[in-house]
Amino acid sequence: MKQDYYEILGVSKSASAAEIKKAYRKKAIEFHPDKNPGDTKAEDMFKKAAEAYEILGDADKRAKYDQFGHAAFEGGGFGGGGGMNMDDIFSQFGDIFGSAFGGGGGFSGFGGFGGGQGRVKGSNLRIRVKLTLEEVANGVEKKVKVRRKVQADGVTYKTCTTCNGNGQVTKITNTILGRMQTAATCSTCGGAGQSIDKRPSDADAQGLKVKEETVSIRIPAGVEEGMQLKVGGKGNEAPGNGIAGDLLVAIETEEHETLKREGDNLHYDLYISFSEAVLGGSKEIDTVTGKVRIKLEPGIQSGKILRLRGKGVSSINGYGAGDLLVHVNVWTPKELNREQKEFFERMQSDDNFAPKPEKSDKSFFEKVKDMFS
């Protein structure tokens, strides 16, 4: 089981954004590879702290984590965590450290980012995936075709002459307050520190070409309409030694013919005849794992709710599955032949057909209350 992100950073769930940032900076400095050379345990803690901050340091991701836990980021996740490497961490969170290690957010030992150069990240791609209720309930692995930009074969790069490979250009101006130094992303290389040296004819100005790939997406059980998963590194690549963007997957759900979803629970309207209600029997109904047969007790009342535990949608938090609530509706015939009509006319005065609700027969409002409890 993955360790809680709040526990990793040593903060409470009510911690402010500033407190979370401060806690992460403290942990990152404590376990930084430059301070712990060759210590794999420290490196692992450094990565865990970065993963925790990637989620808790973002308001939207933190809200999803508070609601769904680690399950929100499984199978490609909603926004991060998992396979972060040193380059990713240094690129994304260099500003957290200030001048603690080498100045300007740079780091001396990994990725060659000393002096303020960061790695350019490719653009994200967005697709929509439509799921059936069965796929939502049980989880599914989808294979989708994606057209993404990748680095063309034969492309070579050279150090950008404008910024000398730093990715930034520094400008010094004289003001009434004295000399002021400002830094900006190099407009020539876009911050990559490199420019195209040679490229094949099928590559664009950045040395990239469009390629169709099949991407496998593992979708966890319990996702809902409108949720967004992220498959890291499957967006457009960046030129040079940049980081590939992400593939963002928006979830759409198809309406089921007989089942209606409400949270992790499912609802099924079962219509039975008057004779079935009187005599009892069994009926076959739909579930997300196939058809099942349920028993109807003789004298079952219209409005009765039968609960099939664990036959609903699997919880995205990993807490089991919801229930399938079967709503029994006794169908009253609208037209009768003469013989049938005479039978019911005789039964009108029969004491056995007179309504005699018992204390165990709950009212409509009690049934609604039980359904939502």
What is residue 113's predicted lDDT score, i.e. its pLDDT? 36
Q: Which residue has the higher pLDDT, 18 or 177?
A: 18
Q: Please give the mean pLDDT across all residues of the chain.
A: 82
What's the mean pLDDT in 143-160?
A: 90
- Is-same-fold flag (1-119; 120-152+203-254)? no
Q: How far apart are CA 125 and CA 146, in angstroms?
A: 9
**Residue 19 pLDDT class (50, 70, 90 cuts):** very high
Helices and strands: H and E segment counts in the chain: 9, 15
Q: What is the pTM of this model?
A: 0.57
CATH code of the domain made up of 259-372: 2.60.260.20
> Could you tell me what percent of the chain has a pLDDT over 70?
82
Q: Quick one: tokens of 95?
A: 């500003």
pLDDT of residue 147: 95
- What pLDDT is recorded for position 137? 93
Task: Name residue, tokens 């992220």.
Answer: 230
Overall CATH class of domain 1-119: mainly alpha
Confidence of residue 365 (pLDDT cuts 50, 70, 90): low
| Long-range CB contacts (within 8 A, 24+) of 294-302 | 294/326, 296/272, 296/328, 300/272, 300/328, 300/330, 301/277, 301/328, 301/330, 301/361, 302/277, 302/328, 302/329, 302/330
pLDDT in tens, 223-235: 988 888 999 999 9
Which pLDDT tens digit goes with each residue over 274-289? 899 999 999 999 999 9
The confidence score (pLDDT) of residue 81 equals: 44
Closest CA to 97 of 44, 41, 27: 27
- Partners of residue 270 on adjacent β-strands: 328
Local confidence band at 108 (pLDDT 50, 70, 90 cut-offs): very low
pLDDT tens, position by position, 195-209: 888 888 888 888 899
Which class does domain 120-152+203-254 fall in? mainly beta
Over the Cα atoms of the chain, what is R_g?
31
- What are the domain boundaries of the chain? 1-119, 120-152+203-254, 156-198, 259-372
**Complete DSSP assignment for 284-309:** EEEETTEEEEEEE-TTPPTT-EEEET
Look at residue 364 and tell me whether its pLDDT is greater than 80: no
| Residue with more model confidence, 291 or 74 | 291
pLDDT at 100: 45
Q: Is the pLDDT of residue 189 over 70?
A: yes
pLDDT tens-digit profile of 45-63? 988 988 999 899 888 889 8
Which residues neighbour 134 within 8 Å (Cβ) at sequence distance 6 or greater?
A: 288, 289
